[in-house]
Chain A
Amino acid sequence: MNAKTILCDDQRLLAMLKSDSPDDDQDELMRHVEQCSHCQRRIEELAASPDDWHKVNAALSDHVSGEEDEFTSDVTSRYRFSQWLTCPVTWTESMARQILNPPAHPEMLGRLGRYEVERLIGAGGMGVVFKAFDSELNRPVAIKILSPLLAGSGSARRRFAREARAAAAIVHEHVVPIHNVETERDLPFLVMQFVPGDSLQSRINRTGPMQICEILRIGMQIASGLSAAHQQGLVHRDIKPSNILLEESVERALITDFGLARAADDATLTRSGFHPGTPQFMSPEQAAGEQVDTRSDLFSLGSVLYTMATGRPPFRADSSLGVLRRIADDEPRNIREINPAIPDWLCGIIGRLMAKNPTDRYRSAADVAAVLKQCLAHVQQPQFNPLPDEAIQLQTVPSIWCFVRSRLRGGYPQMSKVIGTSLVLAGLVAAYFLRPSSDSERLAALQGEWQLVSLERDGVAADPKQLFNERLKISGSKFARHQTAPDGTEIKAESGNILVEAGTSFDRIDFELWQGTIYGVYRLHGANLELCLTKEGGERPAAFQTETGSNRVLQTFRRKSNPDGNSTLAPNAAHVDDPTESKTNADKQSAHEWTQSWLEKAPKELTNPIDPQLAENWLRKNGFEDIKNAEITLTVMNQIHPNVSEADIRRDGIRSYVHGILRSEEAEHNGAAIEVYCLFGEENRLLAVHVGSAAKPQTIDLASGSSRMRRLPQSQPVFADLAPVIACIGPAHPVRLGDIVSHADISDELDQSVVRLHVWDWSESDISRILLIQRSELGALSPDGTTMVTPGGETIDLMTKKTRQYSGFRVPDGQRITSLQISPSKTFVAACIESIAGAEGSDANNKPRLRLLKLDAATNTGQVIWEYSTDQRMSAAFAPDEQSLIYLSEEGGIIRRDTRTGTILNTYQLAISTVRAVSLGFSPDGRYVAAAGGSKAGEQNVQESNAAEQHVSLHVWNTIDGRQVLQQVAIHPFIETNQTDIPRILTMRFSPDSRILLFVSGDDLRLLDIETGTTIAEHRDTTRSNFVHADWTPDSETISLQTSSELLALPNNTDAERLPRNYQWNWKAKQLDIKTFAASEEGTRRIVDPDIESQRLSGTWRVVDRSLSGVEQTAEIGTTFQILNGRMDEVRLDLDPNQTPSTVDVVFLDGPDQGKVLRGIYEWISRPATDKSSTGRAIRICTFVTPNLKEPDLRPAGFQAGKNVDTAVWEQLSR
């Protein structure tokens, strides 16, 4: 009993609970516990209360049973958040699986009778539409299934059945035919012809406002289909762009979704006050809930035409009710304000269709079809086909404009059709838009035209400025021209207070601004546009020219004051160079080609007027709100990159600038010699890879579409064996691997624990090299790049692309791995183990230890070969021959040990004892060992050390004789690092031939000859951000350098023609002159010598959310900024300290998001005081919310989904 009493000691039990695994010397206690139920209970109680025990049980049993828990506890759940950004669940598809029978083929969704359901096409109010395959008739069909949510409702089913009957009754080339309908089943569905192609809505989303011909043609076809329905006594009731299908390649529009159609005499559905259908295209009588007839469809048709003409619906509001109210009360915005290309008569037709009172509209759809048909004929061949009288009467602007325009198209004026007022213009003004041509006849005609015009309107002399404004506004001209009068004088046109002098050069458009000021020059994203804001007043500036030739003014906006004192922005005109224009001989060919390709590829863009709202936003954001009269000019910059054609780096309508290029050594693929160039855009985003000879480049763009690949600043580019695969990812994105030859995405998602992976794989068959840096830096790569060693949960794991092996080496309790290295043969792993503070088994005095493990892949085990204590911050490196390994000893020196025995072979001392080694490495031939050390930011004592400076030292020793061959010290200002980023201050790289050591430390870059110890070249570059990485090409002739925002390739010769001249660097000269660049060839960057006070660094400012396409703006002159860390959401703007912007607007000027405005929230971050190059504060863009000033709560669906913005969904989200 005594023994028991003594042993039943809480203290001892507690001690045991807290300690490491039971040791044998506690045998006595253990035996006691095994017999003493009191102690057994106490142990439990000391650990936790019964409540806690129970809670744990509850929490974990849930967990284990695999109950519906979408969150898994391992690291994959980390990426859920970002996964949501990229792929939201489509509930209807999963629903589909539930309601359908299992499919016959695994790729299909399911089966419905004889129909194999393939995929979801769309979802609407009443049902969902799938693409399916009719297995009996062997043809694709579209199946619309009544939404199961509604299938229980009798009235819904009746409506569904009614729709089917109604639609089936119409047989017309512009109505989607119904093949079959089944209404009696649990799940009624109807079967329609499958129409390949877009809906009108998605076409508009993609390309914006449409061409007149198309508007007329499609409108005519819709009207014609409608008239067939109306003749059957059916009102569609839901005419809207998403219900119009455009069959691809045959130019046929079809009406679909008669879901709400009902016979005109069926009154059962209208009394409830319930409004079916999308409100935006409803007619006023529908909106009011009144009786509707066929004329209601005409209103909707008008709304659709409006949408086609302007790119947006006529009535928009924050809520459905708001929309309905506007439909009833308001007039839609003038079409020509939005798209001046739309002729007046078309506006009139649309206007009549959209008359509030049905009786004011056209009488029938057939009438509308007829009118549109005539108009279409007129537009296509104006000289033979007059506008229908109908249309002419609807014009509000005198037809002299038509005269001028049709003249420009080469047609003949219909003088007899000029009715009413005549308006003529000063020849000056007209001439502004006319370019002389070598066609003397044409010139004569134009001259003749001058004489015709004079300032007259309604018989009264008009204000030339006003007329000019009008002319600019409504000209709809697509041509930017200037002209020299026959006697050689320059043509001047006056617009408001800005006098524009047209230059005389035919090569480029020079706008010399008189009485104006260039307020800012902005380069715009993607479309290579330049925005120039000119303000009235002020002195005459120098001619505004752009760097490279062949610039084309795309569009101008004019801001003018309204009588009430406000000012509004209106597009002036859309200018596009006439591709048939002759240029100077020298660049005629290429400019023409360039223009051709430009026009071919994206004619829509050129004629697509930019939403004035975005220009408005831009003005407001930049503080130009109170500028009353200003003009904004959008100019297209010519962008040429060697070896890459315009088309190559345009994808999805988004063009990227090429900032850097990496060239591989000569390589072979399939026995042929090829060259590989990798082109990087902003953020080291991989734009294109050229594989092939210069004569026949073959490209792949993995930067667009779903892959969105980019290479992070902290990864290493390496040219390995050549192979046609290239891949890279960023954090939170899965790895995407692309096959260069087939352009296919051959990715395989790697383990999610790999955060940042950069793979350059050039091998024929499989990934032969994987380079990676894990977020926690606990992974290491084998030198051949194929295997990664990483700490897994309990063991150290080896990973290749395909497999993951557990080494069987367990991390002991209370310990964790802080660093890993793997030997070239992948047999040995050096692991640094450290105690976890406070964990069981930990010992505060335990130093970190370096363990050398030998791995046996066959048995999946690891054996500890030797172990020694090491420095707190472990660095280690294996020799290339694997015979030895170096690491940092606990005293701060470097020790080289024999791999197999652990015997010390050498010790090397660092010259400065306060400097800790950060990187260690062997030269490729094993003859040298290098250690680069510095005080590491993030270390606890960094505050105490001289925060203004860091000492960095580099040592190289010869391994054979142990002597130190090189020692260098560098001092540079303290670099602030974000606490979550791993500071990468030092990089050193031996050249592959082991002769030169490249040493990068912050902004200090040196090349050192190892043999002689001399510095071959050095450079201090404060214009860029930190050089975070550097590497050699295998031929030791080119260095690639990464800053946090760009990638440079620096060849060791001056005549590498193919690389942009700016990036050339001859390091044979001691002083490198990266100092001053001209504008880079693509015109986006202009870097100047930072020593020159008057010039400041300009560059690009990038604000991007990882789920969105990138947007780029060039800051105005006078603003300095840098891109921090290469991160896409972080920029640094030097602003006036008194300014505190709270939001930033990012404007999409191109691509499907064109016109959309995103707003981000700023956050101020501090900046080190010692940074002299700026005076302002730094900001960080945190997130993007509430885009579009007009509709503050809008957020594009793409913002969540990680896809390109889908405007339709966008609008649905609006409140």
Chain B
Amino acid sequence: MQSGPTKTRASLILRLQNAGDVTAWDEFVELYGRVLYRTAVGRGLQSADAENLVQEVLFAVARSVSKWLERPDRGSFRAWLLFIARNEAADILERQFRRSAGGENNLSAEALNAVPAPDEISHQLDREHERVVFQWAAEHVRSSVAPQTWQAFWLTHMNGLSIEEAAQQLQTRTANIYFGRSRVMARIKDLVERYEERS
């Protein structure tokens, strides 16, 4: 029921400057929030810490996206996001250390060392981003095609059914399966492409 993904990424970021733009922020959160979360969890942060991290990053983005946009040399959005995320992660860990001031010394050292280098998580971030974008595109496509079309795709590509099995299950001809699944795929890919940022 979401409106079509007709916005480009650039304009979404621009809209983020307005904290009251609920649509844009929700979209942003849905995508990047998820990406960040998964990346954080993938790096070993506990679920709740990862949530905190995402929240902090989102706040940081909210605060400074306008300034970032003004910079002529700003680079890619994701790189900037990564930069923020690392800072926030370091802060969170440091805060935890301080809060548990009665804790062991070596615990904190470990924790601080746990903040990974930019390259490592950059890749992870990209991977997660890609994954999430695909998921999102898939959801969009799913809600905009006939169920049978979607099932053609899902049964064959995800559930591993053969074309014939799928055709039988869906009570349609195999040609419909061939076309249907590829149709879905094409649309997913199309959405993903439209959604990727260009900067």
A binds B: yes
> Shortest distance in angstroms between A75's beta carbon and chain B's nearest beta carbon?
8
> Shortest distance in angstroms between B50's beta carbon and chain A's nearest beta carbon?
8
Whether A839 contacts B4 in the complex (CB less than 8 A), given A33-B178, A59-B130, A125-B102, comes out as: yes
A260 to B102, CA, bound (A): 9
A256-269 vs B, CB cutoff 8 Å, 1 = contact: the mask equals 00011000000000
List of A residues within 8 angstroms of B51 by Cβ: 70, 84, 88-89
A70 x B30 contact (CB < 8 A): no
Interface residue from B34, B48, B105 paired with A71 (Cβ < 8 Å): B34
A56 x B22 contact (CB < 8 A): no
A residues 176-228 near B (Cβ < 8 Å) are none
Whether A73 contacts B149 in the complex (CB less than 8 A), given A84-B55, A276-B102, A814-B144, comes out as: no
Flag whether A1057 is at the interface (Cβ < 8 A): no
> Shortest distance in angstroms between A106's beta carbon and chain B's nearest beta carbon?
22
Flag whether B123 is at the interface (Cβ < 8 A): no
A461 to B11, CA, bound (A): 73
A73 x B46 contact (CB < 8 A): no
Flag whether B58 is at the interface (Cβ < 8 A): yes
B18 x A1182 contact (CB < 8 A): yes
List of B residues within 8 angstroms of A59 by Cβ: 130-132, 134-135, 138
Interface residue from A150, A274, A793, A1200 paired with B55 (Cβ < 8 Å): A1200
A427 to B145, CA, bound (A): 89
Flag whether A64 is at the interface (Cβ < 8 A): yes
List of A residues within 8 angstroms of B29 by Cβ: 77-78, 80-81
A71 to B17, CA, bound (A): 24
List of B residues within 8 angstroms of A816 by Cβ: 3-4, 144
A277 x B101 contact (CB < 8 A): yes
Flag whether B169 is at the interface (Cβ < 8 A): no
List of A residues within 8 angstroms of B186 by Cβ: 17-18, 46-48
Specify the chain B residue showing the minimal Cβ separation from A1185.
B63
> Shortest distance in angstroms between B114's beta carbon and chain A's nearest beta carbon?
14
Whether A1163 contacts B66 in the complex (CB less than 8 A), given A17-B179, A47-B182, comes out as: yes
B161-191 vs A, CB cutoff 8 Å, 1 = contact: the mask equals 0010000000001111011001101111100
Interface residue from B63, B145, B173, B179 paired with A1183 (Cβ < 8 Å): B63
> Shortest distance in angstroms between A322's beta carbon and chain B's nearest beta carbon?
12
A1183 x B59 contact (CB < 8 A): yes
A840 x B187 contact (CB < 8 A): yes
Flag whether A1189 is at the interface (Cβ < 8 A): no
List of B residues within 8 angstroms of A836 by Cβ: 4, 144
If over half of B's interface residues share one DSSP class (helix, strand or loop), that class is named, otherwise mixed; here it is: helix
A1182 x B102 contact (CB < 8 A): no
> Shortest distance in angstroms between B177's beta carbon and chain A's nearest beta carbon?
9
A123 to B19, CA, bound (A): 34
Interface residue from A53, A775, A1130 paired with B20 (Cβ < 8 Å): A1130
Flag whether A329 is at the interface (Cβ < 8 A): no
Flag whether B100 is at the interface (Cβ < 8 A): yes
B99 x A1212 contact (CB < 8 A): yes
A698 to B16, CA, bound (A): 45
Specify the chain A residue showing the minimal Cβ separation from B154.
A60
A89 to B188, CA, bound (A): 34
> Shortest distance in angstroms between B3's beta carbon and chain A's nearest beta carbon?
7
> Shortest distance in angstroms between A52's beta carbon and chain B's nearest beta carbon?
5
B185 x A73 contact (CB < 8 A): no
Flag whether A765 is at the interface (Cβ < 8 A): no
Flag whether B117 is at the interface (Cβ < 8 A): no
A1163 to B63, CA, bound (A): 11
Flag whether B74 is at the interface (Cβ < 8 A): no
List of B residues within 8 angstroms of A69 by Cβ: 34, 38
A865-885 vs B, CB cutoff 8 Å, 1 = contact: the mask equals 000000000000000000000
List of A residues within 8 angstroms of B109 by Cβ: none
Whether A1163 contacts B18 in the complex (CB less than 8 A), given A81-B33, A1212-B99, comes out as: yes
Flag whether A597 is at the interface (Cβ < 8 A): no
Flag whether A670 is at the interface (Cβ < 8 A): no
Specify the chain B residue showing the minimal Cβ separation from A793.
B143
A31 to B173, CA, bound (A): 9
Whether A813 contacts B130 in the complex (CB less than 8 A), given A34-B175, A278-B101, A1183-B59, comes out as: no
Flag whether B195 is at the interface (Cβ < 8 A): no
Whether A259 contacts B102 in the complex (CB less than 8 A), given A70-B37, A73-B135, A838-B4, comes out as: yes
Flag whether A124 is at the interface (Cβ < 8 A): yes
Interface centre among A125, A153, A1182 (most CB of B within 10 A): A1182
B residues 74-116 near A (Cβ < 8 Å) are 91, 94-95, 98-105, 107
A1201 to B46, CA, bound (A): 18
A74 to B47, CA, bound (A): 20
Flag whether B122 is at the interface (Cβ < 8 A): no
> Shortest distance in angstroms between B166's beta carbon and chain A's nearest beta carbon?
13
Q: Interface size (B, Cβ < 8 Å)?
A: 78
List of B residues within 8 angstroms of A57 by Cβ: 157-158
Flag whether B73 is at the interface (Cβ < 8 A): no
A1215 to B88, CA, bound (A): 13
A980 x B41 contact (CB < 8 A): no
B residues 127-147 near A (Cβ < 8 Å) are 130-132, 134-136, 138-139, 142-147
B138 x A78 contact (CB < 8 A): no
Whether A68 contacts B41 in the complex (CB less than 8 A), given A279-B101, A775-B22, A1183-B59, comes out as: yes
List of B residues within 8 angstroms of A966 by Cβ: none
A22 x B187 contact (CB < 8 A): no
List of B residues within 8 angstroms of A275 by Cβ: 101
> Shortest distance in angstroms between A164's beta carbon and chain B's nearest beta carbon?
15
List of B residues within 8 angstroms of A124 by Cβ: 102
B residues 3-22 near A (Cβ < 8 Å) are 3-4, 6, 17-22
Whether A1163 contacts B48 in the complex (CB less than 8 A), given A125-B101, A1212-B98, A1212-B99, comes out as: no
> Shortest distance in angstroms between A527's beta carbon and chain B's nearest beta carbon?
28
Specify the chain A residue showing the minimal Cβ separation from B97.
A320
List of A residues within 8 angstroms of B158 by Cβ: 57, 60-61, 64
List of A residues within 8 angstroms of B17 by Cβ: 1163, 1182
Whether A30 contacts B175 in the complex (CB less than 8 A), given A17-B183, A57-B157, A71-B34, comes out as: yes
Interface residue from A60, A320, A814 paired with B98 (Cβ < 8 Å): A320
Whether A277 contacts B134 in the complex (CB less than 8 A), given A813-B145, A839-B144, comes out as: no
A18-37 vs B, CB cutoff 8 Å, 1 = contact: the mask equals 10011000000111011000
B100 x A125 contact (CB < 8 A): yes
List of A residues within 8 angstroms of B174 by Cβ: 34
Specify the chain A residue showing the minimal Cβ separation from B38.
A69
Flag whether A1129 is at the interface (Cβ < 8 A): yes
List of B residues within 8 angstroms of A43 by Cβ: 178-179, 182
A274 to B94, CA, bound (A): 17
Flag whether A463 is at the interface (Cβ < 8 A): no
> Shortest distance in angstroms between B98's beta carbon and chain A's nearest beta carbon?
6
Flag whether B26 is at the interface (Cβ < 8 A): yes
Specify the chain B residue showing the minimal Cβ separation from A980.
B21
A720-738 vs B, CB cutoff 8 Å, 1 = contact: the mask equals 0000000000011000000
B63 x A47 contact (CB < 8 A): no
A53 x B185 contact (CB < 8 A): yes
Interface residue from B99, B146, B157 paired with A56 (Cβ < 8 Å): B157
B103 x A125 contact (CB < 8 A): yes
A94 to B52, CA, bound (A): 15
A73 x B146 contact (CB < 8 A): no
Interface centre among A44, A790, A791 (most CB of B within 10 A): A44
Interface residue from A794, A980, A1215 paired with B23 (Cβ < 8 Å): A980
Flag whether A1127 is at the interface (Cβ < 8 A): yes
> Shortest distance in angstroms between A432's beta carbon and chain B's nearest beta carbon?
48
12 sampled A-B residue pairs with Cβ under 8 A? A47-B186, A47-B189, A52-B189, A55-B131, A56-B189, A81-B29, A277-B101, A753-B1, A793-B143, A1182-B18, A1183-B59, A1185-B59
Closest 7 pairs between A and B when the two form their complex, measured CB to CB = A125-B102, A30-B175, A59-B134, A47-B182, A89-B48, A47-B186, A71-B34
**Extra 13 A-B pairs, beta carbons < 8 Å, given A61-B158, A1182-B63:** A30-B175, A47-B183, A48-B188, A57-B157, A75-B1, A84-B55, A260-B102, A775-B23, A813-B145, A980-B23, A1183-B63, A1200-B55, A1213-B95
